[in-house]
Amino acid sequence: MKNIRILILEDDLETVEKIYSLLRQIEEEKEVAFEVTVIPDYIQTEEFINKNPQIKFDILLLDRDCFLGGSFHNINLENFNKDKVVSISSVPEYNLEPQKMGVNRTIHKDYSNLQSFADKFKKEIIILMSL
């Protein structure tokens, strides 16, 4: 069984819940195991992730705003395979910022239709698993 390490930079519990549910579905369908780390604020991103580049993840899900008022875009993307980073902001302009840093994958998070986000998310994760 293949293990896939995912880092989720997200502070919205509804979104995290949806992501966990979808990852569980994928585990059952594709016979993989996800090792998931959720960081809910930009300070922890700086302290635990940026200052510890030896910690490796296969996939990064990157929101922008966090409830502390800062931005998850403080992440050092040089420590990640940018082909396996997905911007998941609900604000379209915020999904453009990572593109300037070399991130090409975006899934718009629409809170009025999280099922659309979920459908796109599941397809994208399955694609990323094959890279």
Residue given tokens 């986000």 in the structure block: 117
pLDDT in the model for residue 66: 81
pLDDT in the model for residue 65: 86
Contact at 8 Å (CB) between 79 and 53?
yes
Q: Distance between CA 46 and CA 58 in Å, rounded? A: 19
Average pLDDT of adjacent 10-residue blocks, the chain of 131 residues: 95 94 96 96 95 96 88 94 96 92 94 91 94 81
Range of the domain at 7: 2-129
**How many domains does the chain divide into?**
1
pLDDT in the model for residue 131: 81
Q: Distance between CA 87 and CA 73 in Å, rounded? A: 10
CATH code, domain with 65: 3.40.50.2300
Instruction: Name every residue whose Cβ is closer than 8 Å to that of residue 75 and which is 6 or more positions away in sequence.
Output: 9, 45, 49, 50, 60, 62
Which string of b and e fits 6-42 if b means at least 16 CB within 10 Å?
A: bbbbbbbeebbebbeebbeebeeeeebebebebbbbb
